[in-house]
Amino acid sequence: MAKKNLSTKTTMENLAVVIKDTLAYKEDIPANVSELTNDANYQNATQVEAAIAAQVGRSYRPSGSIAFEELPELVAANLGKVYNITNAFTTTADFVEGAGKKHKAGADVGIVEVQGESVGEVVYKYNVFGNFVDLSAYMEKITGGTTNALVKQDANGQVIDTGIAADDVVTKVSGATAGNIATLDANGKLADGGIAANALLVEGDIEDYTVAEIRALLARS
């Protein structure tokens, strides 16, 4: 860029005008702070700075990686801070999306300002940012599970290993005849015995016989 020639009288006069219009003389600055704060230009500048500060507070600021349990308080001083969560977690009522939503480790959680129940009420909540899927409807993999063992749900809805082998459980007999007696096969599984339950002797069928007579009937000839 070419340098301007400041040696001419006209150029110097023009430069002086610009400087006086832009800068203030030291003697014109009020010594009293109260006089300064009453100055319209100062007030305008202060309002601009306050607006900028407010917008900075609403912008997101990366704040490092922490465990879910270490999330800071929901206060104005933490507004806009975003944390990368190092462990899997389930949301609480303090989250924008509500409680009970599961997220994997690595999710980004920020502190945001939301509208409260009443008009003008300010409420701070945690917000899980995009690219993460709510896993509430999915079953988590069991760590250290037993091969071929059955699983069950605990009181919290989590799937756990029962430690009971599936082969040790009695299962429903397929193709059974209604009213037949069930028997066990060589593997200990239930099977249809092929004998109707009403074909067996019951107590009333032998009321006219004594024990000795029954023994005699069953004895070898």
**Backbone φ, ψ for residue 16 (5° rounding):** -65, -40
138 burial class (0-12, 13-18, 19+ CB within 10 angstroms)? exposed
**Best-predicted range by mean pLDDT among 14-18, 91-95, 116-120, 171-175?**
91-95
Question: Would you state the structure tokens that stand for residue 134, as one six-digit string?
Answer: 């709510």
Q: 25-39, 78-92, 127-141, 195-209 — which is least confidently predicted?
A: 25-39
- Which pLDDT value is given to residue 194? 80
- Which pLDDT value is given to residue 90? 92
Share of the chain above pLDDT 90, in %: 19
Residue of 57, 184, 49, 40 whose CA lies nearest to 111: 57
Distance, in Å, from the CA atom of 83 to the CA atom of 81, rounded to the nearest integer, reads 7
Share of the chain above pLDDT 70, in %: 62
Instruction: Answer yes or no: are the C-beta atoms of 55 and 49 closer than 8 Å.
Output: no
Contacts of 196 (CB under 8 A, 6+ apart): 177, 179, 180, 181
Distance, in Å, from the CA atom of 113 to the CA atom of 122, rounded to the nearest integer, reads 7
**pLDDT grade, residue 109 (50/70/90)?**
very high
pLDDT higher at 24 or 160: 160
- Which pLDDT value is given to residue 217? 77
Question: Does residue 93 sit in the same domain as residue 122?
Answer: yes
The answer to whether residue 208 sits within a structural domain is yes
| Span 120-133, average pLDDT | 80
Question: Does residue 123 sit in the same domain as residue 93?
Answer: yes
| Span 93-120, average pLDDT | 88
User: How many folded domains does the chain comprise?
Assistant: 4
- Which pLDDT value is given to residue 203? 56
Please write the tens of the pLDDT for every residue from 40-86: 655 555 555 555 555 544 577 888 999 999 999 999 889 989 999 99
Question: Over the chain, what is the mean pLDDT?
Answer: 74
- Which pLDDT value is given to residue 57? 47
The answer to whether residue 4 sits within a structural domain is no
Plot region of 60 (φ>0 → left; ψ -120 to 50 → alpha; else → beta): beta
Q: What three-state secondary structure class fits 110? A: strand
Question: Does residue 83 sit in the same domain as residue 117?
Answer: yes
Among all chains, which residue has been given the structure tokens 């082969």?
Answer: 167
pLDDT higher at 86 or 196: 86
Q: Strand (E) positions, 9-156?
A: 61-66, 81-85, 89-90, 102-103, 108-115, 122-128, 149-153
The answer to whether residue 146 sits within a structural domain is yes
Structural domain range at position 157: 139-169
User: Torsion angle, CA of 155/157/160/163, rounded to 10 degrees?
Assistant: 50
Question: Does residue 149 sit in the same domain as residue 203?
Answer: no
